[in-house]
Amino acid sequence: MLSNKNIVIIGGTSGMGLSAALAFQRAGANIVALGLGEAAAGQAALELGPSATVLTGDATEEGQAEAAIAHCAERFGSLDGLYHVAGGSGRRFGDGPLHDLTLEGWERTFQLNLSSVMLSNRAAVRQFLMQKTGGALLNMGSALAFSPAPQFFATHAYAAAKAAIEGFTKSIAAYYAPQNIRANVIAPALTDTPMAQRAVQNDAIMQYVRQRQPLDGGRAGLPHDLDGLASLLLSDAASFITGQVIAVDGGWKLGN
């Protein structure tokens, strides 16, 4: 499905990003993965092998996504797709219910989850325009943007940032459609990643999640659950799909 596609994954050295990198590689893509931490990068490099490039960098810093995209274009000849997975909880900075939410929590959460997306998408669009080839953007949203869970997931800045990603992506999709640049959002519910361990290791939260995500016996999502849709949306098979927010949530938004 992705034969000879050149794809940059921001947040591609662990969790959902690494799972996608491996899936895209199996589907024929050339991969550049950018992520935080030398240990994660080293493990990703081992798993992806020498045909991929693994870089370390902070997606919230200007220039990091540009460097990954420039490397992709230099090594593989062009950029065909960007998958932005990087983000995270701002709980440790003060995100939470509004009456407890700190300004630092608000700003750091938006930096992690929205500013990083702007930086990577801007870099990719500039590359697509320079190439005059079109291309595909895929951003990571969250079911919490449109289907709250106040009992266990009351992080209001995170929900706001993920909702902003939807509006940002749709605006990009509308503006750049004449240049054949597509932009979509994939929105998971609770997925078992390093970020989700607070929830995954809590029996009460997991009992709630099994009710909200009843597919496959009721469980947390797994990183590979997103790979099929991500592969489709970055492929030529999705050449007439843009501006969409598609949930991969095990039924989360259908229940209470």
CA 131 to chain centre: 24
| 158 annotated active-site | yes
Residue 247 has pLDDT above 80, yes or no: yes
* CATH code 3.30.200.20 for 6-192+222-250: no
* CA 139 – CA 166 distance, rounded (Å): 9
pLDDT of residue 256: 60
Burial 97-108 (b: 16+ CB within 10 A, else e): eeeebeeebbeb
Each residue's pLDDT tens digit, 209-232: 999 999 999 999 999 999 999 999
Boundaries of every domain in the chain? 6-192+222-250
The DSSP element (H or E) to which 202 belongs, if any, is none
Each residue's pLDDT tens digit, 120-176: 999 999 999 999 999 999 999 999 999 999 999 999 999 999 999 999 999 999 999
Which of 83, 158, 176, 208 is catalytic? The answer is 158
Each residue's pLDDT tens digit, 14-61: 999 999 999 999 999 999 999 999 999 999 999 999 999 999 999 999
* CA 139 – CA 21 distance, rounded (Å): 15
